[in-house]
Amino acid sequence: MNTHYYFSWFNNFFPEKLVERLQEDITDRKSLVMISAKPSDYEEEQVNFEDITEWTWLTQANLIFDEYHFIDYRMQKEEAHQLIRNASVIFMCGGYPVQQHEFLAEYELSDMIKNSNAIIIGASAGALNMAAKWISSADDTPKAETTTIYEGLSFDHFAYESHSRRDYGAFVKGYLFPLSEQMNVYAAEQESAIRVKDGKLDILGPVYLISGSKIQKLIETL
Domain coordinates of the chain in residue numbers? Answer: 3-217
Give the per-residue pLDDT at 140.
54
Is the per-residue pLDDT at 85 higher than 70?
yes
Give the per-residue pLDDT at 43.
67
For 75, counting Cβ atoms within 10 Å of its Cβ (0-12 exposed, 13-18 middle, 19+ buried), the class is middle
Give the per-residue pLDDT at 142.
60
29 phi, psi to nearest 5 deg: -125, 40
Give the per-residue pLDDT at 174.
85
Domain 3-217 listed as CATH 3.40.50.880 = yes
The pLDDT tens digits for 169-221 are 888 888 899 999 999 999 999 999 999 999 899 999 999 999 999 999 999 99
Residue whose C-alpha is closest to residue 153's, from 179, 131, 182: 131
For 70, counting Cβ atoms within 10 Å of its Cβ (0-12 exposed, 13-18 middle, 19+ buried), the class is buried
The pLDDT tens digits for 124-179 are 999 999 999 999 865 555 665 567 899 999 999 999 998 766 778 888 888 899 99
Is the per-residue pLDDT at 102 higher than 90?
yes
Give the per-residue pLDDT at 167.
79
The pLDDT tens digits for 46-65 are 778 888 899 999 999 999 99
What is the overall mean pLDDT for the chain?
91
In what order do the strands lie in the sheet containing 3-7?
67-71, 31-37, 89-95, 119-123, 3-7, 193-197, 200-204
Pairing of the two strands 148-151 and 119-123: unpaired
Is the per-residue pLDDT at 7 higher than 90?
yes
Instruction: Find the helix or strand (DSSP H, E) in which 150 lies.
Output: strand 148-151
The pLDDT tens digits for 114-123 are 999 999 999 9
Q: Are 152 and 132 in contact (CB under 8 A)?
A: yes
173 phi, psi to nearest 5 deg: -70, -15
Residues in the chain: 222
Q: Are 202 and 194 in contact (CB under 8 A)?
A: yes
Pairing of the two strands 89-95 and 119-123: parallel
Residue whose C-alpha is closest to residue 182's, from 144, 154, 142, 210: 210
The Cα 29–Cα 63 span in angstroms is 8
